Chains A and B, each alone.
Chain A
Amino acid sequence: MTLLARWFGSRFAPDTLPGRLRRDWLAWVSGVIILLFVGGALFAPLLTTRAGEGEGEPNPVEKLEAPSAEHPFGTDQLGRDLYARVLFGGRTALTLGLLVVAVAVGVGVPLGAVAGYFGGWVDEVIMRLTDVFLAFPPLLLAIFIASALGASLINAALAIAFTWWPWYTRLVRAQVVALRDRPFVEAARVIGVNDLVIIGRHILPNTLSPVVVQATLDLGSAILTGAALSFLGLGVQPPTADWGQMVSNGRLYFPDRWWYVTFPGLAIFLSTLAFNLLGDSVQDANG
């Protein structure tokens, strides 16, 4: 029956990944939300008349005002327009997310590929190293690193990536182990192709899909963890806008000035959810 399934699979399954994604409405919804956030972050100065306040200039005459036509999300304790702050906070969140994923992928994927391909003691050393990193509670380790390095966007990203790369190493290693004895890899070895070229050209491209899924899911989680670090004061420093920091400050005025926590909180919630949904859809479409 497997033969039959393959036969039908090749002929009848909607064969492209974009094709399958297009038929999935959740992928659509999450994609639109993500596009809104990315667009908002990229074009923040054009989407508000109060770009200065978004970047941190105080406006003491309009402190803690409720949402209105002038200030759709209200204002904070320094009178800054929260709509502008949320837009600019998106820049922080996305930068952090991308940094974390880039570092974790950049470190984790090559290590996993090397461990899986060469096996033996190389594999043993790399995998025991991942075990060590995975033994720490990630948020605690990130807090420790962030406080040791000093609070800044880049340090927060490094701190988070520090605890995340082992997942990519494990993911990629498992894929590479399954691929390294395939005939097409052996064929390349018979030709005399260099091991690193074999890894880069023949093996890694076939491990991309699960890595993309994991990276999409992680973008959401990185934003959430980044927000947690900022909430604790270990992330981006004021006056740069940051959702976690805004929730942290806003909770002092809750519930009377409900809007101060609500809109940044919603931004965290929606962006994290959207990345998770998109990641799931990509995974299903791959399956």
Chain B
Amino acid sequence: MTLLEVRGLSKAFAIRAGGFTRHWARVVDDVSFSLNAGETLGLVGESGCGKTTLARCILRIAEPTAGEIVFDGTDLVKLSRGALRARRSELAIVYQNPYLSLSPRLSVHDLVAEPLVTHTPLRGAALTARVIELLQAVGLSADDLRKRARQLSGGQAQRVAIARALALRPKLIVLDEPTSALDVSVQAQVLNLLVKLQRDYGLTYLFISHNLDVVQHMADRILVMYLGRVAESGPSAAVFSMPRHPYTLALLAATPEPDPTRPAPDIALEGNVPSPLGPPTGCRFHPRCSWAQDRCKAETPALRSMRAGHLSACHFAEALPGG
């Protein structure tokens, strides 16, 4: 069953360039994908690729410029403010840095209780009991109720953020680099917890990360973004074993593996990510792509189906190595 279907989503920011001239930065440009209930979609890409903006549009914290976000049957873009507020209990987010995303002056109790107070009539002892239940579900205890976020370790604080996201049993949780600020040993604890919660509560995750190993561990399906566009998408196993876009190939090659005997990456990506203010013509990746031809400069590649559910936006997807 499809829980979330995004169609043709775009988000452009106006940037004033002095006088009356305005530039439009298309940070998300015509992105479409769907996400099934109970699945994890991994959203991958480097800084500036638009993955966080895309997530903010889906949560309706940012206003999309165009497109539809069909969530559980209704288009969130068309909802009024009041109707949207009522449905907020079905969506939740966990941010990268819990020390920044948890109000510094509130206690753990008040932080976890906030969504419950906002959307349910629970109060008093019943509320506290529910908060303790949630804390136990994420591996914390009632001893932590009175603490502030800064008195907790990074892993514990992130657990509080997860408990808060979990409080209303949302249908979709956006995980925006949830372990990137954590140490390796703690990252493993939090990833295990997220997997367990998904199994126990049938949660659907939109998992944003720049760490391909983490995404591969978590995601059923992958969406690779480059400069606001979808470069490649498909089942995790297919994308990682047989990437069909030069950018995915380069990302995989650049990811340092904990194995010194692995030869140095041969597909070295030169140059920097161009600015979304003046994106390259045609395929946005062509200036950094070692397979680029004249056609790539002129013609924007459409997302094409390679195999069951595996899409690539490359003119020469079939000719890439490994195929």
Contacts and interface: CB of A to CB of B under 8 A. Distances in A.
Interface of A: 10, 182-184, 186-194, 201-202, 205-206
B26 to A, nearest CB: 21
Contacts of B105: 205-206
Contact of B118 (A182, A192, A205): A192
A189 B103 contact: no
B119 interface: yes
A195 B85 CA distance: 11
A188 B150 CA distance: 18
Contacts of A205: 105
A192 B103 CA distance: 15
A190 B88 contact: yes
B101 A187 contact: yes
Contacts of B101: 183-184, 186-187
A188 B118 CA distance: 10
A239 to B, nearest CB: 47
| 6 shortest interchain CB distances as A-B pairs | A192-B88, A183-B101, A205-B105, A183-B100, A184-B103, A192-B85
A202 B101 CA distance: 11
A190 B100 contact: no
A183 B56 CA distance: 12
B165 to A, nearest CB: 9
B59 A206 contact: no
A184 B94 CA distance: 11
A202 B86 CA distance: 20
A129 to B, nearest CB: 26
Given A190-B61, A192-B89, A201-B106, 20 more contacts: A182-B100, A183-B95, A184-B101, A184-B103, A186-B61, A186-B101, A187-B93, A187-B102, A187-B161, A188-B114, A189-B61, A190-B59, A190-B93, A191-B88, A191-B114, A191-B115, A191-B164, A192-B86, A192-B118, A206-B105
Interface string B88-115: 1101110101001111111000000011
24 contacts: A10-B150, A182-B100, A183-B95, A183-B100, A184-B100, A184-B102, A184-B104, A187-B102, A187-B161, A188-B103, A190-B59, A190-B91, A191-B88, A191-B92, A191-B115, A191-B118, A191-B119, A192-B88, A192-B89, A192-B115, A193-B114, A193-B118, A202-B106, A206-B104
Interface of B: 59, 61, 85-86, 88-89, 91-93, 95, 97, 100-106, 114-115, 118-119, 150, 161, 164
Nearest to B105: A205
A187 to B, nearest CB: 5
Contacts of A193: 114, 118
A184 B110 CA distance: 13
Contacts of A186: 61, 101
Contacts of B86: 192
B137 to A, nearest CB: 18
**Which of A186, A194, A202 has the most chain B CB atoms inside 10 A of its CB?**
A186
Contacts of A187: 93, 95, 101-102, 161, 164
Given A183-B101, A184-B100, A190 B118 contact: no
Contacts of B114: 188, 191, 193
A233 B104 CA distance: 48
B266 to A, nearest CB: 34
A94 B105 CA distance: 31
A192 B106 CA distance: 17
**Which of B88, B91, B103 has the most chain A CB atoms inside 10 A of its CB?**
B103
Contacts of A188: 103, 114
A245 B194 CA distance: 71
B126 to A, nearest CB: 19
Contacts of A190: 59, 61, 88, 91-93
Contacts of B93: 187, 190
Given A183-B95, A183-B97, A192 B119 contact: yes
A56 to B, nearest CB: 47
Contacts of A194: 118
B158 to A, nearest CB: 13
Contacts of A182: 100
**Which of A184, A189, A201, A202 has the most chain B CB atoms inside 10 A of its CB?**
A184
A189 B60 CA distance: 10
A207 to B, nearest CB: 11
A192 B61 CA distance: 10
Nearest to B149: A184
Given A187-B93, A193-B114, A201 B103 contact: yes
A202 B95 CA distance: 17
A189 B81 CA distance: 12
A101 to B, nearest CB: 22
A184 B88 CA distance: 16
